[in-house]
Amino acid sequence: MAYVVPKESCSGKVLNVDFGKGNKALNIGGENCLPFLSFEGELPNRPVIAYEIQDIPPVDWPDTVQNAYKDVSGDPVTWAKYCQNELKAKAIALRLVSTHPDRDNHSAEDAAITIKDVLSAIEVPLIILGSNHIEKDATVLVAAAEAASGYNCIIGKAQEGNYKTIVAAALAHNHKLIAMSELDINLAKQLNILITQMGFDKEKLITDPMCSALGYGLEYTYSVMERIRLAGLMQNDATMQPPILGDVGMYVWKVKETVASESDVPEWGTLAERGVAWEAMTATGMIIAGTNLLIMRHPKAIETVEKTIAELI
């Protein structure tokens, strides 16, 4: 008697979200089965990795990552073009760090100029991220949405404290939106409901339940993402069906294992290899949990995860 592989079908489906323009546009989501279980359903779109860049030099990044971009990171346009042309990035995530009041406190108008310059220099889709200052992002991301009007970008992150103005801007300029909550499935669901109640199409929404690095709560992040995905697929919960974002780089490249010198912990191996491995392993955990879109920093880590995705598919 031939062995029959047991299969589990899902009543729900992850929503398909497109971003970008023309032949460089990308789609994420769309699956009706758990990650990489293609024998149980359809996986129309592979996870997408976006290269993270900043609008100012990343002086707070470890040397391991800074050195990878040392010749281009002084200017966001040059940096974006390098990622697209030399590293073959499929998408770019521009983080407007300079607008944070505790950094350079650049204005929303300054951010808009940067966004226009970057968009005019690249063809791949752009993700526009604020500085994660709730009050400042409420004005910066409104200006960002207007500056990027017509480019079908992803903007974020909308949080409970500022989502109303950011949602209105995304609606007005036809962008996709990241909704971020703090590692709680109920908070993620509540924010998605609040945003869609404003008339924002759930098929333009991306859920960011927050991320954490390997060794710093990764298993908890994994469980939250997994519960979100199970609710959307198994329970057919429409509020839990948007694609999931994993903002990996910003959480990985500040933990001890990616910054501690070899002289302090020689038994941990070379710093460069250790940092790259830490980002790659964290990102791999995210995609297995159900993440559809990753934001990463180191080119070698991205290369490793791209190979892993290809093997899993």
Write phi, then psi, for 19 (nearest 5 degrees): -150, 155
DSSP state of 22: G
pLDDT tens, the chain, 313 aa long = 788 888 888 999 999 999 999 999 999 999 999 999 999 999 999 999 999 999 999 999 999 999 999 999 999 999 999 999 999 999 999 999 999 999 999 999 999 999 999 999 999 999 999 999 999 999 999 999 999 999 999 999 999 999 999 999 999 999 999 999 999 999 999 999 999 999 999 999 999 999 999 999 999 999 999 999 999 999 999 999 999 999 999 999 999 999 999 999 999 989 999 999 999 999 999 999 999 999 999 999 999 999 999 999 8
147-185 burial code (b ≥16 CB/10 A, e <16):
bbeebbbbbbbbbeebbeebbebbbebebbbbbbbebeb
Write phi, then psi, for 82 (nearest 5 degrees): -65, -45
The count of residues in the chain is 313
At residue 48, the pLDDT reads 98
Distance CA 281, CA 287 (A): 10
Torsion sign across C-alpha atoms 233, 238, 242, 247: negative
The answer for residues whose C-beta is within 8 angstroms of residue 214's C-beta and 6 or more apart is 252, 257, 278, 281, 282, 285
Closest CA to 115 of 138, 95, 134, 131: 95
Distance CA 189, CA 231 (A): 10
At residue 209, the pLDDT reads 96
* Residues 185-207: tens digit of each pLDDT: 999 999 999 999 999 999 999 99
Between helices 134-147 and 108-121, what is the axis angle to 10°?
40
* Residues 207-255: tens digit of each pLDDT: 999 999 999 999 999 999 999 999 999 999 999 999 999 999 999 999 9
DSSP state of 244: B
At residue 125, the pLDDT reads 98
Domains of the chain: 17-312 (3.20.20.20)
Closest CA to 90 of 132, 28, 175, 16: 28
CB 267 within 8 A of CB 44: no
At residue 181, the pLDDT reads 95
Between helices 271-289 and 299-312, what is the axis angle to 10°?
40
At residue 7, the pLDDT reads 87
What pTM did the predictor assign? 0.94
Q: What are the C-alpha distances in Å from 286 to residues 47, 209, 247?
A: 10, 11, 10
Distance CA 311, CA 36 (A): 10
Torsion sign across C-alpha atoms 71, 73, 74, 76: positive
Q: How many CA atoms lie within 13 A of 139 on its CB side?
A: 11
The answer for residues whose C-beta is within 8 angstroms of residue 301's C-beta and 6 or more apart is 276, 277, 279, 280, 283
